Amino acid sequence: MNLITLGVNHETAPVDIRETVSFTAERAQLAISELKRQALVAECIILSTCNRTEVYCILKEDKSQQDIQAWLHDFFELESNALTPYLYMHHDLEAVKHIMRVSSGLNSLVLGEPQIFGQIKDAYNAARKANSLNRTLENLFQHIFKTVKQVRTDTAIGSSPVSVAFSAVALSKQFFGDLSKQTALLLGAGETIELVARHLTEAKIGSLTIANRTFERAHNLAESVGGYAIQLDEIDNHLHEADIIIGSTGSPHAILKQEQVVRALKKRKNTPMFMVDIAIPRDIEASIGKLENVYLYTVDDLQEIIDSNKASRQTAALEAEEIIELQANNFIAQLKATQQVNPLIKMYRQQAMALKKDALDHALHQLEQNVNPEEIIKTLANQLTNKLIHAPTSSLHQAGIEGNKTLIECAKNILITPQKNKPHR
């Protein structure tokens, strides 16, 4: 099949490495175009989230995993082998299992979190838009979607409301205790920030401000959670009010700069500020964490909270692994069977088309000789039928002589179309 998965994630690479190879939606489209232009892949999907960047592809026959690895370095203008210590690679069956685990949330920072499945679907749809899917990846991802549904239905892997957003709010509660007197400033208005906002509301946050580049989106979210909306360029006017700052904008550059926080701390008379940056690339400059009275955490720092929630999902994860093992092997078995039979189908079709051509050429020649068209049609039908059934019937006759019941039964299943019962009038 020549399927490979190449990537980095929260287990293999720190946040600064992950953000180095993070794709925006636009860059992912560009990358797919480059992979196709350079004839490295036959099919390709790129997944990029705050915790991972992965390339799923069917390699061209004359290409290797080293070619894709070299391309990744070139695309991000990195020195040769700069990513090598952090990269992982899976092939064929193991690649299928890996993608299923990722899609089911078994390979996430928060075990069983559901958001990754939506991100996988977004990556799949983007690949379809880029015309980088053919039969193999299309069939694989349809199989993966069914597998994830089975995992969610048949196990309790997603029964607890645990996510990076939940963990960020839980850490805020550990820091402040009661949140009813605190003011939170959220950077962004996407799905993750929406979850943060709802968790903060449930925790009885005192005041909630949502800052986003698009005011309308911030306003809609703020209205749904009883908060206040501003645009990102208004942050300086409100930063000093914020006790809690949580960022997840998807911006390629840091939104919050050190000098802004220094000014805010002066206005707050150095009252502590608690920050959680769950964006990749980071929304909050790393140097801010060195300021006195600032407590800055990244997604990697949420690991302790997340680990405490993993225990309740371990049994469900084991059940999910069994489903994935079965479904991955089923897919590979189906793929191998298809790959074996496709050449035979092609040969059979070519043979039938050759017989049709001979019969048609003969009929056209007879028409040129002014033979009766009705007789030509009858002759064409008889000749074509006899030629098509000659080889199968000869083989069946020989199987009958030899008593080959297995071949006879297989031929019956292949050659005889079941008759549908006609309704009684």
Active site residues: 50
Going by the DSSP 8-state scheme, the letter that residue 351 receives in this structure is: H
**What Å distances lie between residue 304 and 50, 207, 373, CA to CA?**
18, 27, 85
With 0-12 / 13-18 / 19 or more C-beta atoms within 10 angstroms meaning exposed / middle / buried, residue 286 is middle
The CA distance from 196 to 166, in Å, is: 6
8 A C-beta contact, residue 294 and residue 275: yes
Which of these, 145, 57, 157, lies nearest to 107 by C-alpha position? 157
Handedness of CA 134, 139, 145, 148 (dihedral sign): negative
Q: Which residues pair with 256 in a beta bridge?
A: 284
Going by the DSSP 8-state scheme, the letter that residue 218 receives in this structure is: H
Tell me the Cα Rg of the chain.
30
Handedness of CA 310, 48, 23, 37 (dihedral sign): positive
Which of these, 367, 318, 295, 359, lies nearest to 104 by C-alpha position? 318
Sheet bearing 41-48, strands edge to edge: 41-48, 52-59, 3-9, 88-91
